[in-house]
C-alpha cells in the first residue's frame, strides 16, 4: 500500500443516514409484482394483439407455399423465402428498407400515443401476459398467489409451483422450436426432434431462445422494461405535450379518500379517487400512475380499465385515468379537440416519410428482376491473343435464379467494335439455384487501343421477363 496516501479519504456510503440517525440501505431488494387480472376495453386490445402476434409467430412456419415452407430463412443456402419471393443476400436493401420502416413506425406511434408498442405488441409484454395467464390458472388470483408465496414450503405449494414451471418450460421450448423453424424447415425439424437427431446449432438456438423466453417472461418481467430495454430510456425524447399518454386527472381525483357508495364527495370535500389502489394492483410494472408520468409506465392502459370499473360502480363519470395529452389536461380540451391536436405537423411529417418509404419498397419489389448476375474478371487468365487475330479475356459470371422454375438466360456483350462471346451464350439455371460459369469474350486486335475499356454484359431471361446489364472491363495488351 502507498505510504503517501491522504489521511482522510472521501468515502461513498452504500447506506444513507436518515434524519433521525438510522441507517437506510440505498439498495432496494426486488419485490415480486403480482398484477391483478383485469377486464375492459384496453385489456381486450392487449389480448387481441397477444392472439394476433402469436398466431402469426407460431403458425407462420407451418404454412406451405407450393412445395416448400412459405417463410423460411435458409442461412446455409443463403436463400430467403417469403411467400412468392425468393431473396438472395444481394437483396439486403429490402431488409434495410424494412428496418427503416420499423424505426419510423416506432417514432410515429410514439409521437401519437407514447409507448403503444411496449404496452401491446412488444414480445416482452406479450410473453409476460401469457406466462401470467398460466400462473393465474395454476396458482390462482393475485391474493392466492401472494398468500402462497408467503407460506412456508409444503408438498401442495411445491406441486403447484412445479406444474407452473413445467408449463412455462414447455411453452418456452415450443417458442424456441418455432423460432428455429424459421431457419430450418419446421417439419424436418419436428422429425429430427422425434428421432433425437437435431444438429448442434438447432439444439443451441432452441434452448437459448426457449430459456430467454422462460427467464424474461417468467422471472425478469418488468425488470426488462425498467432496466434493460434502451427504448424506455430514449422514448421521452419522442414525447411532446400533444402525445397521448396514460394520465391520472389530478384535478378531478384529489383529494383522494375512501367513502361509502352513497356518500356525496362534495360534502366530504373529496375528489373522485376512492384510493382503492386497484390501479396500482393491476399495473404490470407496479407503479402508481397517480404520481404522474413515470418512465416505468409502458402505456398498457389496464389501469384505465380498472379505474373505469370503479367509477362505474360508484356512478361517477369514467376517465379519471385515461389516455390524454399534457396540453389537453391543462386546457381542459374535449376528446375531439385533443385528437385534432394529436394530428400535428410532426406526426404528418413522419406519416408522409413512412408512406413514401413503404411505397418505394413496394414499387421496387414489384419491379424486381427475378434473377441476379455477378461478373468477375478471371484474374488467373490475363488478356491473351487467340486464333483469328483476336484478343480474349475470360470472366466468371454468377447467375442467380430467384424463381422457382428452371430458367434459361441468354448472354451478349457490347462496348467495343466486333466484341463477342466465344463460349456458350445460353445457360440454364435450376430453380432457386445459383451457377458460376466461365465466359470467354473476344475482340479484334485493332478494336481498341492498349489498356482497359468498359464493356457491358447483357443478360436476358428467355423463360420469363427480365433483363440485366452488368458492367465490366476488357483489357487490351500492349
Ligand atoms: S383505481 Fe381509480 S379510484 Fe382506485 S385508486 Fe386508482 S385512480 Fe383512485
Ligand atoms: S401505469 Fe397504467 S398504463 Fe402505465 S404500466 Fe401501469 S397499468 Fe400500464
Tens of pLDDT, residue by residue over 252-284, are 999 999 999 888 999 999 999 999 999 999 999
Gap from CA of 347 to ligand 2 centroid (Å)? 24
Ligand nearest to the CA of 283: 2
Cα 169 to Cα 163: distance, rounded to the nearest angstrom: 10
φ, ψ (nearest 5 deg) of residue 399: -100, 125
SS3 443: strand
By three-state DSSP, how is residue 459 classified? strand
Ligand 2 pocket test, candidate residues 303, 307, 321, most atoms within 8 A of CB: 303
Ligand 2 in reach of 128 Cβ (< 6 A): no
- Measured from the Cβ of residue 184, the count of other Cβ atoms closer than 10 Å reads 23
210 lines ligand 2 (CB under 6 A): no
d(CA 476, CA 446): 9
CA of 277 to the centre of ligand 1 (A): 6
Distances (CA, A) of 159 to 165, 211, 416, 478: 10, 21, 82, 87
Residue 115: is it exposed, middle or buried by C-beta count within 10 angstroms (0-12/13-18/19+)? buried
Distance 226 CA to ligand 1 centre (A): 23
Residue nearest to atom 4 of ligand 2 (CA): 297
pLDDT the model gives residue 237: 80
Closest CA to 403 of 463, 343, 447: 463
Three cell numbers, residue 202: 438447432
- Nearest C-alpha to atom 7 of ligand 1 is from which residue? 273
- Count of Cβ atoms closer than 10 Å to residue 152 Cβ: 5
Which atom from ligand 2 is nearest to the alpha carbon of 119?
8
Burial 233-267 (b: 16+ CB within 10 A, else e): eebeebbeebbbbbbbbeeebeebeeeeeeeebee
Query: If 0-12 CB within 10 Å is exposed, 13-18 middle and 19+ buried, where does residue 396 land?
Result: middle
CA atoms within a 13 Å half-sphere pointing along the CA-CB vector of 459: 24
CB 459 within 8 A of CB 470: yes
Distance 248 CA to ligand 1 centre (A): 9
Percent of the chain residues topping a pLDDT of 70: 94
| Grid cell listed for 214 | 422462460
* Rounded distance from Cα 242 to ligand 2 centre (Å): 19
How many angstroms does the Cα of residue 328 sit away from the middle of ligand 2?
19
Counting atoms of ligand 1 from 1, which one is nearest the CA of 290? 7
Buried b / exposed e along 81-107 (16+ C-beta atoms within 10 A)? beeeebbbeebeebeebeebeeebebb
Q: What is the 325 CA–ligand 1 centroid distance (Å)?
A: 19
The per-residue pLDDT for 281 is 96
pTM across the whole model: 0.85
| Predicted local confidence at residue 216, as pLDDT | 96
Asked if residue 130 lies in contact with residue 369, where contact means CB atoms within 8 angstroms, the answer is no
What pLDDT is stored for residue 245 in this prediction? 93
Please say whether the beta carbons of 357 and 365 come within 8 A.
no
DSSP code for 181? T
User: Quick check: 405 and 463 in contact, CB under 8 A?
Assistant: yes
* CB of residue 320 inside a 6 A radius of ligand 1: yes
| Separation of CA 273 and ligand 1 centre (Å) | 5
What angle, 0 to 180 degrees and rounded to 10, lies between the N-to-C axes of helices 41-59 and 155-180?
Answer: 60
- Regarding the beta carbon of 297 and ligand 2, being less than 6 Å apart is answered yes
Rounded Cα gap, residues 386 and 394, in angstroms? 12
Per-residue pLDDT of the chain (478 residues; tens, 9 = 90+): 344 444 455 555 555 555 555 666 666 667 789 999 999 999 999 999 999 999 999 999 999 998 899 999 999 998 999 998 999 998 889 989 999 999 999 999 999 998 899 999 999 999 999 999 999 999 999 999 999 999 999 999 999 999 999 999 999 999 999 999 999 999 999 999 999 999 999 999 999 999 999 999 999 999 999 888 888 777 778 888 999 999 999 999 999 999 998 889 999 999 999 999 999 999 999 999 999 988 889 999 999 999 999 999 999 999 999 999 999 999 999 989 998 998 899 899 999 999 999 999 999 998 889 899 999 987 777 789 999 889 999 999 999 999 989 999 999 999 999 999 999 999 999 999 999 999 999 999 999 999 999 999 999 999 888 899 999 999 998 7
Pairwise CA distance, residues 444 & 420, whole Å: 9
Q: Which atom of ligand 1 is nearest to the CA of 306?
A: 1
Instruction: Calculate how far, in angstroms, residue 280's C-alpha sits from the geometric centre of ligand 2.
Output: 8
Residue (of 55, 87, 90) closest to 74 by Cα position: 87
What is the predicted pLDDT for the residue at 6?
Answer: 46
Is the bond leading into 309 cis (omega within 30 degrees of zero)?
Answer: no
For atom 7 of ligand 2, the residue with the nearest CA is 283
* 183-189 long-range Cβ contacts below 8 angstroms, 24+ apart: 183/72, 183/73, 183/74, 183/75, 185/68, 185/69, 185/72, 186/61, 186/62, 186/69, 187/62, 187/69
Residue 270 Cβ contacting ligand 1 at under 6 Å: no
Residue 265's nearest CA partner among 314, 309, 332 is: 314
198 lines ligand 2 (CB under 6 A): no
Pocket test for ligand 2, best of 33, 119, 129, 246 (most atoms within 8 A of CB): 246
Residue nearest to atom 6 of ligand 2 (CA): 283
For ligand 2, whether the C-beta of 303 sits within 6 Å is yes
Q: Of 142, 137, 116, nearest to 35 (Cα)? A: 142
279 in contact with ligand 1, CB cutoff 6 A: yes
Cα of 257 vs centre of ligand 1, distance in Å, is 10
pLDDT digits (tens, 9 = 90+) for 224-245: 998 888 887 777 788 889 999 9
Ligand 1 centroid to residue 320 C-alpha, Å: 8
Please check whether residue 474 is in contact with residue 416, taking contact to mean a CB–CB distance below 8 angstroms.
yes
Amino acid at each position: 500500500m502507498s505510504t503517501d496516501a491522504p489521511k482522510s479519504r472521501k468515502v461513498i456510503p452504500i447506506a444513507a443516514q436518515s434524519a433521525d440517525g438510522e441507517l437506510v440501505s440505498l439498495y432496494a431488494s426486488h419485490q415480486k409484482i403480482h398484477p391483478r387480472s383485469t377486464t375492459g376495453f384496453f385489456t381486450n386490445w392487449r389480448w387481441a394483439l397477444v392472439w394476433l402476434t402469436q398466431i402469426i409467430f407460431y403458425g407462420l412456419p407451418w404454412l406451405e407455399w407450393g412445395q416448400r415452407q412459405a417463410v423460411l430463412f435458409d442461412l446455409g443456402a443463403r436463400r430467403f423465402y417469403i411467400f412468392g419471393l425468393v431473396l438472395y443476400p444481394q437483396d439486403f436493401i429490402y431488409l434495410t428498407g424494412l428496418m427503416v420502416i420499423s424505426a419510423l413506425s416506432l417514432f410515429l406511434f410514439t409521437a401519437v400515443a407514447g409507448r403503444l408498442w411496449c404496452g401491446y405488441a412488444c414480445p416482452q409484454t406479450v410473453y409476460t401476459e401469457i406466462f401470467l395467464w398460466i400462473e393465474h390458472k395454476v396458482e390462482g388470483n393475485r391474493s392466492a398467489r401472494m398468500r402462497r408465496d408467503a407460506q412456508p414450503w409444503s408438498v401442495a405449494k411445491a406441486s403447484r409451483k412445479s406444474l407452473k414451471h413445467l408449463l412455462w418450460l414447455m411453452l418456452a421450448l415450443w417458442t424456441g422450436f418455432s423460432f428455429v423453424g424459421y431457419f430450418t424447415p419446421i417439419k424436418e425439424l419436428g422429425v429430427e426432434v422425434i428421432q433425437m437427431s437435431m444438429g448442434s446449432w438447432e439444439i443451441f438456438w432452441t434452448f437459448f431462445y426457449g430459456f430467454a423466453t422462460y427467464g424474461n417472461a417468467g422471472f425478469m418481467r418488468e425488470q426488462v422494461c425498467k432496466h434493460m430495454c434502451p427504448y424506455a430510456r430514449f422514448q421521452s425524447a419522442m414525447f411532446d405535450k400533444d402525445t397521448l399518454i396514460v394520465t391520472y386527472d389530478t384535478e378531478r381525483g384529489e383529494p383522494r379518500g375512501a367513502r361509502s357508495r352513497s356518500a356525496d364527495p362534495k360534502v366530504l370535500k373529496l375528489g373522485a379517487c376512492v384510493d382503492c389502489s386497484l390501479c396500482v394492483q393491476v399495473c404490470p410494472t407496479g407503479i402508481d400512475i397517480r404520481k404522474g408520468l413515470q418512465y416505468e409506465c409502458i402505456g398498457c392502459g389496464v389501469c384505465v380499465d380498472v379505474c373505469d370499473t370503479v367509477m362505474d360502480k360508484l356512478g361517477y363519470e369514467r376517465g379519471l385515468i385515461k389516455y390524454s395529452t399534457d396540453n389537453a389536461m391543462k386546457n381542459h380540451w374535449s376528446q375531439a379537440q385533443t385528437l385534432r391536436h394529436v394530428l400535428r405537423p410532426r406526426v404528418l411529417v413522419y406519416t408522409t416519410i413512412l408512406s413514401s418509404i413503404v411505397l418505394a419498397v413496394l414499387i421496387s419489389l414489384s419491379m424486381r428482376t427475378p434473377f441476379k448476375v455477378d461478373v468477375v474478371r478471371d484474374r488467373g487468365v490475363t488478356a491473351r491473343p487467340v486464333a483469328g487475330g483476336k484478343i480474349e479475356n475470360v470472366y466468371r459470371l454468377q447467375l442467380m435464379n430467384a424463381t422457382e422454375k428452371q430458367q434459361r438466360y441468354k448472354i451478349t456483350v457490347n462496348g467495343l467494335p466486333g466484341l463477342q462471346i466465344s463460349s456458350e451464350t445460353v445457360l440454364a439455371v435450376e430453380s432457386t439455384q445459383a451457377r458460376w460459369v466461365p465466359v470467354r469474350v473476344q475482340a479484334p486486335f485493332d478494336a481498341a487501343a492498349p489498356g482497359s475499356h468498359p464493356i457491358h454484359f447483357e443478360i436476358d431471361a428467355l423463360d420469363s421477363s427480365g433483363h440485366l446489364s452488368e458492367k465490366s472491363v476488357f483489357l487490351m495488351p500492349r
